[in-house]
Chain A
């Protein structure tokens, strides 16, 4: 139902936020 996702890897979590990420 949605377009294909980007073909490049998503960015890594910003270091200062890694503890909070999903």
Chain B
């Protein structure tokens, strides 16, 4: 039978930054065929297809739709495999090989992580699982 794809509305203009991305215009409707947890979603349009940032989309059917999991305050252990330097105030800077706790896996790919006393957003694509935290 037909595959029903989730439709989203574009909430801000987006200009592509690499070959396999596509431009978005506020108010456009897009159908998503793959939701990568790194925050890049694959859009299948009538005339174009490519990766777009989930952070620029809202669900067409009810913005209250809860696709996102709840925060996990105990945290799940991950290790950074790439360094990232914070560019915004709510982000956290980490070096390669740091073990951190993931508190909230946000759909936009910018997970909330904790290291010691510090908490902030970090790109999920630079993390890999370190195994479950023991209680």
Instruction: Give A contacts to B, CB under 8 Å.
Output: 1-3, 5-14, 16-17, 20-22
- For the complex formed, measure the closest distance between the CB of B25 and the CB atoms of chain A, giving whole angstroms: 13
Q: Please tell me the size bucket of the interface on B.
A: 35 or more
- How many A-B pairs fall under 8 Å by CB? 80
Is A6 a contact partner of B18 (Cβ separation < 8 A)?
A: yes
* Inter-chain contact A14/B11, CB cutoff 8 Å: yes
**Chain A contact surface mostly:** loop
A11, B56: Cβ atoms closer than 8 Å: yes
Given contact pairs A2-B34, A5-B20, A12-B108, a sample of 17 additional A-B residue pairs in the complex whose CB atoms are under 8 Å apart: A5-B40, A6-B17, A6-B21, A9-B38, A9-B110, A10-B39, A11-B53, A11-B56, A12-B55, A12-B121, A16-B12, A17-B56, A21-B56, A21-B58, A22-B55, A22-B57, A22-B67
Tell me whether A17 and B88 are in contact in the complex, defined as CB-CB below 8 angstroms, given that A8-B17, A8-B18, A22-B108 are known contacts: no
Assess A2 versus B42: contact at CB under 8 Å? Given A9-B126, A14-B56, A21-B108. yes
Q: Are A9 and B57 interface neighbours, CB within 8 A?
A: no
